[in-house]
Amino acid sequence: MAGPSSYMFVAAILFLIGAVGVVVRRDLIVILMAVEIMLNAVNLQFLAFARQLGQSEGQVFVFMVMVVAAAEAAIGLAFVLLLYRTRKTINVDNINLMQG
Amino acid sequence: MDFRVGLVAVEVALSLLALLFILLGAWQRPNTSPTGAWAVAVLALIALGGFSLSSSGIDGVARSFYGLVVSDRLGAFLGLFSLISGLLVLFMSPAYLSREGIHKAEYYGLVFLSLVGGFFMFKAASLLTLFLGLEVLSMPLYVLCGLKRNFGKSPEAGLKYFYLGAFFSAVMLYGISFLYGALGTVNLEGLAALAISSNRHGLMCAFGLALLLCGLAFKAGLAPFHAWVPDVYEGAPTTITAFMATFVKVAAFGALIRILFSLPPDILPVLKPFGWLVAVLTMFAGNLGALYQTNIKRLLAFSSIAHAGYLLVGLLSFNALGQQGVLYYLLAYTFMNVGAFAVVIAFGQRGEENVTLDDLRGMGLRHPFLGVAMALFILSMIGIPPTAGFVGKYYLFAAALSAGMPVLAVIGVLNSVISLGYYLRVLVALFMMPEARAVIIPPKGFGAKVAVAACAVLVLWFGCFVSSPIAAFQGAFSQSMLQPGTIARLP
Amino acid sequence: MYTVVPLLILFVLSSVTAIVFVLANRLLGPQAMTPSKLEPFECGVEVYGPVRQPLHVRFYLVALLFVLFDVESVFFFPWAVILKDLGLVAGVEMLAFLLFLVGALAYAWKKGALEWD
């Protein structure tokens, strides 16, 4: 049986993958997916701790995070669609109307 | 059963109205204005404001919903500030929205939903409520920022705000998960057991707390997480900019207060140097950045970063003066900022978001009412008596002095001097420059003028009659769910 | 711990074998490319147009609604499990939750998000 440390390790790696993805990738949908990976890392960590502590508080938190992640995905997709309709691109490098 | 619905009556009312407005929006006929929705929204905010004001005098702390929600004076005051900000914004909304062709009932629904989120943050007794409140607050704002769909900068502002917001809420959640693992609870009282050391527990606490504070610092627009502020404030519809600049700042600082004052006293010496650095960085980033701006919305955005820095100075002193100062300044800041943005709206035209300083030339003389009001707001932002901004700043810097942080106070005053550089440019443009060639015609909107007048009167009122609000704010902290250890330590 | 060692050996061996075979094929095999050989399919229906065509916008809209309404159901499972213990309060709470969901659905319906034309 693996202890919480191994779950923390996996969660950290997942979180880093997501964070690096947000910073490095240029496609808006991929960035959205990277944020979801970060949230899933958080979920994993919450579940591991909830299991270790033997309580349900962490699991409740995970439910909330899942719903928030879904709402975020909906808003993000809507924005990407809106942007694609007006500019025909979903590359972050082209989002540069405001500078200075 | 532990359900005292009365404690969340305001939130329930706000959410039901939000649902009503959003449904009204779907059945609204094209090319009509939802005047009825607007009237209901204004009346509801006035009624709820009265309710919050009356409950802000109640002593004691009430908790419910299995310890998720707490009702105390601090939360009541912060809620009251948010309602005031929302009400002022509602007054200037119809004229502006009709001008931009986006006057829909959904707008009011989204504003109300955002307010619900803020209220849950103020009443949070657990990191779960705090996080959910923050998300409920943020998501409608993402949409509202991108409301002007055909105006290129607006969707871009919404998109930027959304992506950065989502990223930082993930960071904040990661922090919360570490705190949960270390403390075994997400209740705010659990934070009292927090200890930073080099063992596993201590490291998890330190890491979790740092990430949590990073997430909140992003929302508050504190350096080094302030880069989004100018872009989002510039692109968003101006009414929403005013709403974000005031309400979100109140919410973020409310959450910071809740968390910082739940920490055990021995953490504070570790935390203070970081806070000190962030405050100094924020003040300089805001004031130096504003010096180079020609667009008034961006200028006000940078100035709002600087004001967040001043607020942090008061928060860091952890004494009674600082607590009163933070609340006073948040209120003063609401009036002067909403007022300034209302004037910006009045000087604008359809699609003309780039109200540059050149466009403002000579407008103060042509439209004396708006000009004088703008001058008043600017003077209050600089911190010149007899304005509310002066009183707030005085309390903040006095708190830093009495907390033994004279250097921070001096840097704050120095920054106020730097800020003269750009605030005076606005005044010079308004009153001392020849009129620009293309004359701007202010809209016929009556509501914006009401908002400007109300803000101007309140800025003067709170600059002159200080004692009763200060006395009220004094009770806000002592009558709230904050750690007795921290309170007892205060001078 | 030692139970995984045979698995590891198997994993390494199979990977090495696969890599060696693919590389050997690439290096040793004769390569005479003709246009018909470069086609994705050398038999069957002829290919026309790019494969990765963008999906129509309405798919995203449906996906968006699906994600929202699907995830809300996570709240129903724990609620259903403890409904008997909580009694009437929980029932009323869930009705309030449903009210908002139905409101959202009505909004989507009225706005034409459910049309597929």
User: Cα distance from A56 to chain C (closest Cα, Å)?
Assistant: 11
| Torsion, Cα of B106, B107, B108, B109 (10° steps) | 40
- Contact C60/A77, CB-based, under 8 Å? yes
- Contact C103/B23, CB-based, under 8 Å? yes
Question: Which position has the token pair 């607006």?
Answer: B154
| Residue A100, token pair as written in the block | 């200075």
| pLDDT at position B170 | 96
Size of chain A, expressed as the number of residues it contains = 100
| pLDDT at position C30 | 80
CA–CA distance, B375 with B340 (Å, rounded to integer): 9
Residues ≥6 apart with Cβ < 8 Å to B319: B399, B402, B403, B490, B491
| pLDDT at position B46 | 93
- Contact B184/A18, CB-based, under 8 Å? no
Percent of chain B with pLDDT over 70: 93
| pLDDT at position C73 | 83
Backbone phi and psi for residue B442, each to the nearest 5 degrees, phi listed first: -65, 150
| pLDDT at position B485 | 43
CA–CA distance, B429 with A61 (Å, rounded to integer): 52
| pLDDT at position C44 | 64
Residues of C in contact with B1 (CB under 8 A): 86, 89
| pLDDT at position B247 | 96
Of B408, B243, B290, B393, the C-alpha closest to B332 is B393
| pLDDT at position B71 | 84
Helix (H), strand (E) at residue B177 = helix B153-183
| pLDDT at position A32 | 93
Its domain, for residue C98, covers 57-110
Of A39, A48, A86, the CB nearest to B173: A39
pLDDT tens, residue by residue, B418-437: 999 999 999 998 888 887 66
- Contact A79/B156, CB-based, under 8 Å? no
pTM above the 0.80 mark?
yes
pLDDT tens, residue by residue, B310-351: 999 999 988 888 888 999 999 999 999 999 999 988 887 776
| Residue C90, token pair as written in the block | 């929980």
CA–CA distance, B318 with A52 (Å, rounded to integer): 36
| pLDDT at position B484 | 46
| pLDDT at position B434 | 83
C115 or B422, greater pLDDT:
B422
Task: State yes or no: pLDDT of B251 exceeds 80.
Answer: yes
| pLDDT at position B489 | 40
Percent of chain B with pLDDT over 90: 57
**Domain assignment present for C43:** no
Number of domains in chain C: 1
Residues ≥6 apart with Cβ < 8 Å to B197: B203
| DSSP-derived secondary structure for B112-144 | HHHHHHHHHHHTBSBHHHHHHHHHHHHHHHHHH
User: Cα distance from C72 to chain A (closest Cα, Å)?
Assistant: 7
Q: Which whole-number Å values give the CA distances from B365 to B75, B297, B434, in the listed order?
A: 42, 21, 10
What residue spans define the domains of chain A?
4-94
The answer, yes or no, to whether the previous bond of B224 is cis (omega within 30 of 0) is: yes
| Residue B113, token pair as written in the block | 């939903």
CA–CA distance, B314 with B325 (Å, rounded to integer): 6
pLDDT tens, residue by residue, B360-372: 888 888 888 889 9
pLDDT tens, residue by residue, A63-99: 999 999 999 999 998 888 888 888 877 788 777 777 6
pLDDT tens, residue by residue, B113-132: 999 999 999 999 899 999 99
Number of domains in chain B: 1
Q: Report chain B's mean pLDDT, rounded to a whole number.
A: 88
Task: State yes or no: pLDDT of B139 exceeds 90.
Answer: yes
Measure the N-to-C terminal CA separation of chain B; round to a whole number of Å: 40
Task: State yes or no: pLDDT of B491 exceeds 50.
Answer: no
- Give yes or no for B106 touching A (CB within 8 A): no
Its domain, for residue B176, covers 5-489
Report whether A43 contacts A62 (CB < 8 A).
yes
What one-letter code names the amino acid at C67? V
At the second CATH level, the architecture of A4-94 is Orthogonal Bundle (1.10)
How does residue C42 score in pLDDT terms, banded at 50, 70 and 90?
A: low
User: How many contacts, defined by CB atoms under 8 Å, are there between A and B?
Assistant: 115
pLDDT tens, residue by residue, B198-249: 788 889 999 999 999 999 999 999 989 999 999 999 999 999 999 999 999 9
How does residue A1 score in pLDDT terms, banded at 50, 70 and 90?
A: very low
